[in-house]
Amino acid sequence: MTDLTTIFKNHKAFIAFVVAGDPNFEATVDQVVALAEAGCDLVEIGIPFSDPVADGPEIQAADLRAFDQHITPQRVFELVVAIREKTTIPLVFLTYANIVYQFGYAAFAQQCQSLNVAGLIIPDMPLEASGELRPTLDHYGIALIPLIAPTSDDARIAAIAQQARGFIYVVSSLGVTGTRRHITTDLATLVAKIRHATTLPVAIGFGIHEPAQAQAQAMAQIADGVIVGSAVVHLIATHQPATAVLRDYTRRMRRALDGRTADTVD
């Protein structure tokens, strides 16, 4: 099983998000391979869900396109089988609590383990509700990656960090996912509080979209990595096939995170 902390060892990590089955099964496989080949460190695969409370309109639309392709949780595992035939890039799932519950905690975790899906991000499962799932994930070596919001106080940050595995997902802005021109959260202070509570890596998501933004807003200096979701999903929605544009975007983000010149994406 991949140790997720290793993706942050040598440089700032670039984490991209795609929705499984958007626009179809085969295209998603190609997207993940393209991201891997261009230098993405980790791909977060979203399992389509009917009520994705943390996701903005871009990802909701992608979920609907995936449903049109009859993508189910079991089909997502089959998708990962196809991905694993072509790349060993670290993978995690972004999913919702009811999907894992309905599938069965042990069965879901066992399938993740067999396919080296190293972690789960579950936005609608707060710390207080994670106790029944966490032991099963720990048994199978699957990280439950927590989200920490700008509204979290010191005590809550410490409590979440104590139970965290893999890395900490910092929510840069309040609200649902989506690209934002300006992020006004005091991320430096928030990340400093997290680092006081844990030695796990910290990645910032929710709103990052331009390679220049990763530099200009000093996210690469503040955190150990950045997560880009809606912008990647938008590229997939507007370019078919999307492999070439995803490779270009990833290379530009990689340059930005490495501190090299990178201009914005149209």
Least confident segment among 153-157, 201-205, 213-217, 228-232: 213-217
**More confident site: 261 or 43:** 43
Catalytic-role residue among 22, 55, 58, 63:
55
pLDDT of the residue at 206? 74
**Rounded to an integer, what distance in angstroms lies between the CA atom of residue 266 and that of residue 262?**
12
For residue 44, indicate whether it is catalytic: yes
Q: What was the pLDDT predicted at 47?
A: 98
Taking 70 as the threshold, does the pLDDT of residue 177 lie above it? no
Active site residue 55: yes
Asked whether the predicted pLDDT for residue 5 surpasses 70, the reply is yes
**Cβ neighbours around 266 below 10 Å, total:** 4
Work out the pLDDT band at 234, boundaries 50, 70, 90: very high
Hey, which CATH number is domain 4-257, 3.40.50.1100, 1.10.260.40, 3.20.20.70, 3.40.630.10?
3.20.20.70
Q: Which of 45-59, 65-79, 169-183 has the highest mean pLDDT?
A: 65-79
Single out the residue of 41, 53, 47 nearest to residue 112, CA to CA: 47
CA–CA separation, 225 and 253 (whole Å): 11
Every domain of the chain and the residues it spans: 4-257
pLDDT interval class at 65 (50, 70, 90): very high
Please, are residues 95 and 125 in contact by the beta-carbon 8 Å criterion? no
How confident is the model over 95-112, as a mean pLDDT? 97
So what's the pLDDT on residue 261? 56
Distance CA 90, CA 84 (A): 10
pLDDT at 100: 98
Long-range contacts, stretch 155-161, CB < 8 angstroms, 24+ apart: 156/127, 157/193, 157/194, 157/197, 158/197, 159/127, 160/127, 161/194, 161/197, 161/198, 161/200
Catalytic annotation, pick one of 41, 44, 58, 210: 44
166 φψ region: left (φ > 0), alpha (ψ -120 to 50), beta (else): left
Distance CA 229, CA 123 (A): 14
| Model pLDDT, residue 185 | 67
Rounded to two decimals, what is the model's pTM? 0.91
Check whether 50 has a pLDDT greater than 80.
yes
Residue 167 CA to residue 202 CA, distance in Å, equals 6
Tell me what the mean pLDDT of segment 238-258 comes to. 93
Q: SS in 3 state form for the chain?
A: CCCHHHHHCCCCEEEEEEECCCCCHHHHHHHHHHHHHHCCCEEEEECCCCCCCCCCHHHHHHHHHHHHCCCCHHHHHHHHHHHHCCCCCCEEEECCHHHHHHHCHHHHHHHHHHCCEEEEECCCCCHHHCCCCHHHHHHHCCEECCEECCCCCHHHHHHHHHHCCCCEEEECCCCCCCCCCCCCCCHHHHHHHHHHHCCCCEEEECCCCCHHHHHHCCHHHHCCEEEECHHHHHHHHHCCCCHHHHHHHHHHHHHHHCCCCCCCCC
